[in-house]
Each structure stands twice: as C-alpha cells, then as structure tokens.
Amino acid sequence: MSIKIEGLKFKYKNSVKDVIKDFSMEISNGEIISIFGESGSGKSTALRIICGLEVPSAGSIKIDDKIIVDNNNFTLPENRQMGMVFQDYALFPHMTIEKNIKFGLKHMNSKEKDNRLKEVLELVDLKGFEKRYPHELSGGQQQRIALARALAPKPDLLLLDEPFSNLDSDLQERIRKELESIIRKANITSIFVTHDKEDSKAIADRVVILKEGEIVNIGKPKDIF
C-alpha cells in the first residue's frame, strides 16, 4: 500500500506557532522512510498526526487513495491499520509476552490468535518466550517483542518513534540490522523517527530531513548525508 501526505499543518493548543508547517510526501509500497531532524523539529508530532493521535489544521493523508484525514474526514487511530512502536517499548508490564501480543488481536478467534502469536515470535526470533513477563527480557528482546506486537495485526503501515534510543550502542547496531530484516521480510511500509544519522543510513530507503516543522530535503541516505 502507498501513502500520500499533502500540506500537513499542525499547532499544539498551547504553542504560539505551527509545529508542523508544510509536510508533504509520497511513500511507495514496502518503502522504509526515516524522518530525521534535531530535537524539537517536529518528528514525533508528524508521526502522531499520521497515526491519528493529533488532528492537523490543514492537509490530507491518503492510504491507497482512501482519505484517512482531510478537512472533512477523520479516521480514528484504531481504524487506521497502523502498527506503532514507541521509544519506551510500552509493553504492558503485568502481562506475559503472549498476552501482550494477543492484546491487539481481538478480532481473531483463539486458534487464529495462537497461530499469529507463533508466527510473529518466529519472525523476531523469540520462540518460547510466550510465558515470560517483560522484565524477564533484555532491552533488545523487549524491543523485538514490541515490534512483534505491532506487526501481529498485520498493519498497513508501521510507525516507529526512536526505536533504538533506549539501547546501548552495541545492541543498537545489532537491533538495527535485525529490525531492518524483520521489516523487509514482513514487506511492510514503514516510517521511523530518529535523530541518529547512522539509523537512517543503515535502514532507510529514503530520508526526510525535518527542520522547524518543514521538510528541507528528501532523498536516498547516500545522496543526503
């Protein structure tokens, strides 16, 4: 599936100026895009608008020609078929890995849930971890479970906000590669936010450089950095 974003604008209620000023881009099926920029440039805000946690004051987003937001339309986040992975993993600490992953699979029957659980645990190479709790896993393993949980409902689009920021640098490098191979295997269109050039270089097909809410450059990492 492809995405077309046109002319997004956004301001937080208590901010004086627009945090996103003009955000437009097209993303093709299976592409991995990174949004790169300094702290405060609006990266997380752009992601929050795309997944429906914030409502833009102008602009539109289409998925495969279906409008999910514009002046007259707004698809709720839970109906957008998007998977999200945020910086702090956000696994439910009181739930086992199995429960964490099955949480988003309410529309499936229990046999389907079991099958999907098995599939995604294999995908992230953590078979046999079903009965563990998040605190019994390493940071990198938790990160992979967060990814498995986001992928389990087979989203159209995967959004990742600084997915490596909580990991030490050795682990960060390994997880980057793993994450890329998992996303490529799942063939899922993805957007990830980072302030680390190396993340963009290692994984992204194209990089969006954001500065004070405006896209100042879009291109392949090798042409941009």
Residues of the shown chain interacting with ligand ATP in the complex, contacts defined by CB under 6 A:
12, 14-15, 19, 37, 39-45, 195
Least distance CB 29 / ligand ATP (angstroms): 26
Residue 62 or 195: which CB sits closer to ligand ATP?
A: 195
**Separation of alpha carbons 96 and 10, rounded Å:** 38
Establish how many alpha carbons lie within 13 A of residue 223's alpha carbon, considering only the half-sphere containing its beta carbon.
9
Least distance CB 16 / ligand ATP (angstroms): 10
What single string gives the DSSP state of each residue in 24-48?
EEEE-TT-EEEEE--TTSSHHHHHH
**Separation of alpha carbons 34 and 119, rounded Å:** 26
Least distance CB 9 / ligand ATP (angstroms): 13
Residue 18 or 137: which CB sits closer to ligand ATP?
A: 18
Residue type, 79: N
Residue 37 or 155: which CB sits closer to ligand ATP?
A: 37
CB 134 within 8 A of CB 55: no
Cβ neighbours around 2 below 10 Å, total: 16
Measured in whole angstroms, the distance separating CA 102 from the mean position of its chain's CA atoms is 19
Residue 16 or 76: which CB sits closer to ligand ATP?
A: 16
CB 24 within 8 A of CB 7: yes
Tokens 């490596």 correspond to what residue? 164
Least distance CB 111 / ligand ATP (angstroms): 40
User: What radius of gyration do the chain's Cα atoms show?
Assistant: 17
Query: 39: burial class by Cβ within 10 Å (0-12, 13-18, 19+)?
Result: exposed
Residue 38 or 136: which CB sits closer to ligand ATP?
A: 38
Residue 34 or 45: which CB sits closer to ligand ATP?
A: 45
